[in-house]
Amino acid sequence: MPDSPHKKSVCVFDFDGTLVDSMGGFADLAAQLIAEAYEMPREEAREAYLRTSGLPFFQQLEVLFPGDVRNAATAAAFEARKQEDYFGRPFFADVPTAIAGLQERGLRAVVSSNNGQELVEAYLERRSKPRFDLVLGFKKGFAKGKAHFERVLAHFGLKASEMLFVGDSLHDARQALEFGVDFVGRVGTFRQEQFQQVHPRAATVRGLDELMGVLCK
């Protein structure tokens, strides 16, 4: 792990784009809705969605269009429509084996998502593997980042130095840096150099099958 002599006891995983292959579909849907609501070219709308990914969608809209009266309706449409085929979106192929491998070595695996708690739990209930040690979704006043990190540490009785956060967005990297935990970025939406511009000590992987190699460095 980069610059960290501490043994990790828990790996916290962002959900969409890190564990679940859903970001492409989400980006297409968001681009359509943003383009229609705000009269923006679709490619520009898609880029704006990806640039602000990692936040709940309603917060992304507030970043992109502060105080716009169209935000609430657009966010509601996104949340409703993304669920139409959400349960059919698969885990990345490397996920079940990677999570099982971590747990076999004594590490806990935790989900941290800005999707609603009930939606994340419903997704996981439809799949026999992997099984996570703790699942945290979005609730009012309880979002991915500081609140989730504090819950993980309290739940397992750990220190921040014993936790690793794995995500696919620059927002994920920023949250890890602000809280003082090590971070691994899954490249795809963003490149290695983009992650390291935000979190200079960040490691990167192309898939979670590379994660154990990072932990053993």
pLDDT digits (tens, 9 = 90+) for 96-135: 999 999 999 999 999 999 999 999 999 999 998 999 999 9
Residue 68 pLDDT more than 80? yes
Same domain, 50 and 136: no
Query: At which of 87, 112, 135 does a domain end?
Result: 87
Same domain, 111 and 17: yes
User: Can you give the pLDDT at residue 83?
Assistant: 87
Asked, for residue 2, whether it belongs to a domain, the answer is: no
3 exposure class (CB count in 10 Å sphere: 0-12, 13-18, 19+): exposed
Asked, for residue 4, whether it belongs to a domain, the answer is: no
User: Can you give the pLDDT at residue 11?
Assistant: 98
Same domain, 119 and 189: yes
Same domain, 58 and 101: no
pLDDT band at 205 (very low <50, low <70, confident <90, very high): very high
Asked, for residue 78, whether it belongs to a domain, the answer is: yes
Asked, for residue 137, whether it belongs to a domain, the answer is: yes
Q: Per-residue pLDDT averaged across 194-200, rounded? A: 96
Cα torsion angle, 11, 127, 185, 65, sign: negative
Residue 76 pLDDT more than 70? yes
Q: Per-residue pLDDT averaged across 180-209, rounded? A: 95
Residues 6+ apart with CB under 8 A from 191: none
Same domain, 189 and 140: yes
Query: At which of 87, 114, 132 does a domain end?
Result: 87
Structure-derived torsion over alpha carbons of residues 187, 192, 194, 198, reported in degrees to the nearest 10: 100
Residue 217 pLDDT more than 80? no
User: Where do runs of H (alpha helix) occur along the chain?
Assistant: 23-38, 42-51, 57-64, 71-82, 95-104, 117-125, 146-156, 170-179, 192-198, 211-215
Asked, for residue 157, whether it belongs to a domain, the answer is: yes
**Token pair in block for residue 201:** 């000590």
Q: Per-residue pLDDT averaged across 73-83, rounded? A: 94
Residue 178 pLDDT more than 60? yes
**Token pair in block for residue 200:** 């200079």
Residue 83's domain comprises 23-87
Q: Per-residue pLDDT averaged across 34-51, rounded? A: 96
> How far is the CA of 187 from the CAs of 27, 76, 101, 169, 196, in angstroms?
16, 29, 21, 9, 11
User: Can you give the pLDDT at residue 13?
Assistant: 98
User: Can you give the pLDDT at residue 84?
Assistant: 87
Query: At which of 87, 103, 118 does a domain end?
Result: 87
Same domain, 80 and 57: yes
pLDDT band at 5 (very low <50, low <70, confident <90, very high): very low
Same domain, 111 and 31: no
Q: Is 204 helix (H, G, I), strand (E, B) or coil?
A: strand
Q: Per-residue pLDDT averaged across 187-210, rounded? A: 95
Residue 207 pLDDT more than 90? yes
Same domain, 108 and 150: yes
Q: Per-residue pLDDT averaged across 25-39, rounded? A: 96
Same domain, 174 and 156: yes
Asked, for residue 3, whether it belongs to a domain, the answer is: no
Question: Domain containing 160 — which CATH number?
Answer: 3.40.50.1000
Same domain, 61 and 138: no
Asked, for residue 15, whether it belongs to a domain, the answer is: yes
How many structural domains comprise the chain?
2
**Token pair in block for residue 118:** 């009930």
Please report, rounded to a whole number, the percentage of residues in the chain having pLDDT higher than 70: 97
> How far is the CA of 31 from the CAs of 40, 45, 97, 204, 205, in angstroms?
9, 5, 33, 27, 27
Same domain, 50 and 145: no
Asked, for residue 120, whether it belongs to a domain, the answer is: yes
Same domain, 28 and 125: no
User: Can you give the pLDDT at residue 6?
Assistant: 55
Q: Is 31 helix (H, G, I), strand (E, B) or coil?
A: helix
pTM: 0.89
